[in-house]
């Protein structure tokens, strides 16, 4: 088995990030060969200007789309979240940490169902703060959207760079949500 092909297959088929040790253990390929295969694959994808990139997130690796191709892929991929849930997520991400009771004032009664769904998906975590929850995004959120950082300032800057001019994250919800 070709080590580079095996590493590429592992990254392609994984739903999450992988450590070098995980790839080595599951493929039987020595860690140093996995490390070299990752370096080669990253270089090859970059040199040919592929829409796919092998991102290094901390000590883990993940195959993902380059951000500039996400709109194109979005026309083919089925949305995992309803638009209203996505707006709630972007509001949390942009304003974090945010109290669920404050979010309710902007997003309305849908807040509770949306937050439940986002916690279930692993994109948001909540910590008790009196009678409500203090909400923040998780590492999974940053990884899923390819932000490359979990710092609040970096997340806010990423949202600002990717928000369409007509829809800012902190806007009031529309009637059709």
Domain boundaries, the chain: 3-70, 83-162
What is the tens place of the pLDDT at every residue in 12-37? 988 778 999 999 999 999 999 999 99
Query: Which CATH code for domain 3-70?
Result: 1.10.10.10
Distance CA 7, CA 2 (A): 9
pLDDT of residue 28: 94
Going by pLDDT thresholds of 50, 70 and 90, the confidence category of residue 171 is: very low
What are the C-alpha distances in Å from 143 to residues 65, 102, 146?
A: 12, 26, 5
Contact (Cβ atoms closer than 8 angstroms) between residue 111 and residue 104: yes
Instruction: Identify whether 137 is preceded by a cis peptide bond (ω within 30 of 0).
Output: no
Distance CA 156, CA 74 (A): 22
pTM of the model: 0.54
Confidence check: pLDDT of 176 > 50: no
What is the tens place of the pLDDT at every residue in 146-168? 787 888 888 888 888 877 554 44
Backbone angles phi, psi at 35, to 5 degrees: -60, -45
What is the tens place of the pLDDT at every residue in 24-78? 999 999 999 999 999 999 999 999 999 888 988 788 898 888 877 776 766 665 5
CA atoms within 13 A on the CB side of 126: 21
State the greatest distance between any 2 C-alpha atoms of the chain, in Å, as a whole number.
57
**83-162: CATH class:** mainly alpha
Kindly report the average pLDDT of the chain as a whole number: 84
Same fold, 3-70 and 83-162: yes
What is the arithmetic mean of pLDDT over 70-90? 74
Distance CA 95, CA 97 (A): 6
What is the tens place of the pLDDT at every residue in 92-136? 999 899 999 999 888 888 889 999 999 988 899 999 999 999 999
């Amino acid at each position: 088995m070709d080590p580079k092909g095996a590493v590429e297959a592992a990254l392609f088929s994984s739903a999450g990030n992988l450590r070098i040790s995980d790839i080595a253990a599951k493929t039987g390929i020595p860690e140093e060969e996995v490390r070299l295969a990752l370096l080669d694959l990253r270089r090859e994808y970059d040199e040919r200007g592929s829409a796919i990139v092998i991102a290094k997130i901390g000590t883990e690796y993940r195959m993902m789309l380059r951000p500039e191709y996400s709109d194109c892929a979005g026309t083919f991929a089925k949305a995992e979240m309803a638009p209203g849930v996505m707006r709630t997520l972007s509001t949390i991400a942009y304003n974090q940490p945010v109290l669920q009771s404050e979010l309710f004032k902007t997003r309305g009664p849908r807040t509770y169902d949306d937050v439940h769904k986002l916690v279930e998906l692993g994109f948001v975590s909540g910590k008790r703060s009196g009678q409500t929850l203090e909400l923040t995004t998780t590492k999974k959120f940053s990884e899923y959207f390819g932000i490359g950082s979990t710092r609040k300032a970096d997340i806010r800057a990423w949202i600002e760079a990717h928000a369409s001019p007509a829809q800012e994250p902190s806007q009031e919800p529309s009637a059709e949500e």
